[in-house]
């Protein structure tokens, strides 16, 4: 199989060095053991909290821990790559009968969610329409083709920041029709990106592109 099937390695985290951590998380999920978790935040800080681990979630090649956080008194999704340490405690927890993983993730676009699913209407240009039609982007999606080859995508999604990042990857070939809040977020990120380029030195001052022959 290794000679025939090739996995995508682009941008994938290296979990090989986290094998011991992943084994600890897996055992804690199976045995329902509360963990003391040291977690690195996106801003570079660290927090220590107790969590009841429910599931290990592999999403697009990246591992996440879904757990009840004692600090926040809510279910949270933790990136395994940001877990600095996980130590089993003497405490155990009962099977989470109130938690349904499928319902927890069903309306999320990818990982993030705030519990407020929002109806979206998005326009995509004809040149990217085939790619849109060939994939399932969300369980609630509906694609409406136009006479000129463009498509309109409607869906109800929890996690608009991830939708905004996805739309930006299409450049001018995608546009938010609704809601206005998502359109404003995309516009804000585009302005910020443009401002960064406005401070870039002119082409003559940039390092030449040296390529092998």
Q: Please report how many Cα atoms fall inside a 13 Å half-sphere around the Cα of residue 198, on the Cβ side.
A: 6
pLDDT, tens digit, 9 for 90 and up, residues 111-160: 888 778 999 999 999 999 999 999 999 999 999 999 999 999 999 999 89
pLDDT of residue 213: 42
Domain ranges (residues) in the chain: 16-104, 118-198
Q: Are 155 and 120 in contact (CB under 8 A)?
A: yes
pLDDT, tens digit, 9 for 90 and up, residues 157-212: 998 989 999 999 999 999 999 999 999 999 999 999 989 888 766 665 555 554 44
CATH code at 16-104 = 2.30.30.520
pTM of the shown model: 0.72
């Amino acid at each position: 199989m290794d000679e025939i099937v090739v996995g995508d390695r682009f941008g994938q985290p290296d979990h090989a060095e986290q094998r011991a951590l992943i084994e600890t998380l897996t055992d804690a999920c199976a045995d329902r053991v509360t963990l003391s978790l040291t977690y690195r935040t996106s801003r570079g800080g660290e927090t220590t909290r107790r969590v009841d681990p429910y599931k290990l979630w592999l999403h697009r090649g990246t591992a996440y821990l879904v757990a009840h956080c004692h600090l926040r008194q809510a279910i949270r999704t933790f990136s395994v790559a940001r877990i600095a340490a996980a130590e089993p405690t003497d405490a155990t927890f009962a099977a989470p009968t109130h938690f349904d993983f499928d319902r927890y993730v069903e309306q999320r676009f990818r990982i993030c969610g705030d519990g407020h699913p929002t109806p979206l209407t998005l326009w995509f240009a004809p040149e990217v329409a085939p790619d849109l039609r060939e994939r399932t982007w969300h369980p609630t999606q509906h694609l409406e083709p136009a006479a000129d080859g463009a498509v309109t995508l409607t869906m109800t999604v929890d996690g608009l920041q991830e939708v905004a990042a996805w739309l930006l990857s299409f450049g001018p070939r995608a546009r938010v029709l609704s809601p206005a809040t998502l359109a404003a977020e995309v516009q804000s990120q585009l302005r910020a990106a443009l401002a960064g380029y406005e401070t870039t030195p002119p082409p003559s001052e940039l390092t030449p592109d040296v390529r092998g022959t």
